[in-house]
Structure 1
Amino acid sequence: MRTLSKRQLKELVLYSSQHIAWLEKSGKFPKRVKLGPNRVGWVEDEVLDWLQSRLEGRESA
């Protein structure tokens, strides 16, 4: 299992930090994992699954 930093996540998803936080709070994006007192990450597989679901939604539209 691999975790993504905030920088890596923003490069992959192309959303602002604020938008990612809003999506997380509304349950529409994978939750961050607290790695330490000042560090968070996102599970790469969960983010890639989320992206895949977006691509599949595009194909059915």
Structure 2
Amino acid sequence: MQTSIFTQSIEDSIDEPIINEQQRRFITSVSRAHAFQLERQGLFPKHLKLDNNTNGWKLTEILAWVRSRPIAELKQEATNND
């Protein structure tokens, strides 16, 4: 079966939102340098090169990464009212 560039495949996500660096940093609270370090280690979603000076990330991949992070539990200290 021949595929056309106009035929959407399962892997093709034309309608998927792409977020910029500022949005990625807000959602993940991870610095730019740390995000690229994690990406090189395969521990963070890969960026998309939008042009020479602009990177983007698939929103669904970033949200999946955030959801995969462990949840820290806060310890409640006993209050002494002596």
Bin of the TM-score, shorter chain as denominator length: 0.7 to 0.9
CA deviation vs aligned residue, 1:4-59 (integer Å, no higher than 9, x gap)? 100000011111111101000000000000112221100000010111111xx438
Equivalent position of 1:34 in the other structure: 49
Give ranges in structure 1 of 5+ residues lacking alignment: none
* 2:71 aligned with 1:58: yes
Higher radius of gyration, 1 or 2: 2
Quote the residue 1:25 is aligned against.
Answer: 40
TM-score by length of 2: 0.64
Q: State the TM-score, normalizing by the size of structure 1.
A: 0.84
After the TM superposition, list the runs of 4 or more consecutive aligned residues in structure 1 that deviate by more than 6 angstroms.
Answer: none
Aligned residues: 57
CA RMSD of aligned residues (A): 1.4
Structure 2 gaps, min length 5: 1-15, 73-82
Q: What letter is aligned with 1:58?
A: I
- Structure with the largest fraction of helix: 1
Higher relative contact order (CA 8 A, sep 6+): 1
SS of the residue corresponding to residue 34 of structure 1 reads strand
Identity of aligned residues (%): 33
